[in-house]
Structure 1
Amino acid sequence: MDNARCPFEKAILSVQCTCEMATRFSVAEQMGVECRSDIARNNCATLLAFMRARARFVLKVTDTSASLPFGKEMKVMLGGLIGLQRQMATEEGAAAAGVQNIHALVQQAQAAYGSLDALPYQEIVKSIAAFQGKRRGNAHPSR
C-alpha cells in the first residue's frame, strides 16, 4: 500500500491542497492519501526531491534525502507548491488562493519549462522561506 502513497500526502491531509489523482483512505485510525497514477506520483516525487534539495540552505539542513521534521516538510510542500503556482500564474494571470490541483499544476509546469529540473527554483525557494504554517490554537497573545 505504501508504494502508491502520494508524495504530497501531508499537504493534502492538511486540507490546504487538493489533487485530482488523490484518493483518501483510512486503515484503523490512520488516514492517508494514495495516488491513482504511477506517472503522476513519480512526477510529484521528483518535484518534491528537487524542492527539498534546492531549499537545503533555507531549511538549515545538509541532507534532504532523510526525512525532515514535520514543520520543515510542510514548509517545503506547501511553500513550494504555492511558489510554483505563483510562477505559473505570472505567465497566465492571477494566482488562485490555494493549490486546487497538484497534478494539473505539475503538468502545467512541465509543459511551460520543458522539465521539472528547469523550473525557477530560486523563486520557488523564496516562497518556501516565506511560508509560515498554521500556529497552534493554544498560543495566547502576550498581555
Structure 2
Amino acid sequence: MEENEYKSTYHEIASIPCEFEKALTNNRARCACARHFWLADREGYACKSSLSSAKCHELLAKLRENSRFLLKLPQAGEKLPHNMEIRVQAGGISGIQALFDTTPGQRVEDIHALVEQAEAEYGSLERLPYNRIVQSVSRFQGRKGSKRRP
C-alpha cells in the first residue's frame, strides 16, 4: 500500500480522529470512546463521538500550550514531533489523573471519563491547574531505547 493510499484509507476509517492516539498506541491509556483498528500492519484509533473528540482536541491544545516552555518551543503548534507528542499526551493525561488519584504511574483506564471528571471538578477545561499537570509531562519517561553494541 502506497503512503498516499494509506493516508486516504486511514482518514476514511478514522473520520473522527482520536486526539490521544499516541498515548493509546503506546499503551499509556485507554478510552471508552476509542475504536481500535489495524491498517496495513499499523495500529490506529478513531473516536466514536464527535463531542468527545472536540473536548479532547481542546484539552490537547491546552496541554501543548502549557508544555511549550518545558519543550523549549517558541510557540505551540498543532503538531509536535512524535516523541514530544507522546510526552504531552501521556504525561498530560497522567497529570490530570494525579489530580484525582494519589497512586502515581497507573495507566489511565478511560480518557473520556477522566476528561468528564476534570470538567465537572474544575468547571471547564480552561480552569484546570495546568501548572501541576505539566509537572507530569516533565517527569514522563518514554520507552528506553535499546543500547547499541559497537
Q: TM-score, normalised by structure 1?
A: 0.88
Compute the displacement of 1:65 (Å).
1.7
**Residue 130 of structure 2 is aligned to residue 118 of structure 1:** no
Between the two proteins, what is the percent identity of the paired residues? 38
1:18-54 residue CA offsets vs partner (Å, 9 max, x unmatched)? 0001001122233210000011101111100000001
Aligned to 1:36: 48
Displacement over 4 Å in runs of 4+: none
**Residue 67 of structure 2 is aligned to residue 55 of structure 1:** yes
1:55-77 residue CA offsets vs partner (Å, 9 max, x unmatched)? 10000002222421111111100
Q: 2:17·2:47 contact (CA, 8 Å) conserved in 1?
A: yes
1:1-80, aligned counterparts within 5 Å?
A: 1=12, 2-80=14-92
CA distance in 1, matches of 2:73, 2:140: 17
CA distance in 2, matches of 1:30, 1:113: 37
| Cα RMSD (Å) | 1.7
Q: TM-score, normalised by structure 2?
A: 0.85
How many residues end up aligned between the 2 structures? Answer: 137
CA distance in 1, matches of 2:66, 2:84: 13
Compute the displacement of 1:95 (Å).
5.6
Aligned to 2:147: 139
Gaps of 5+ in 1: none
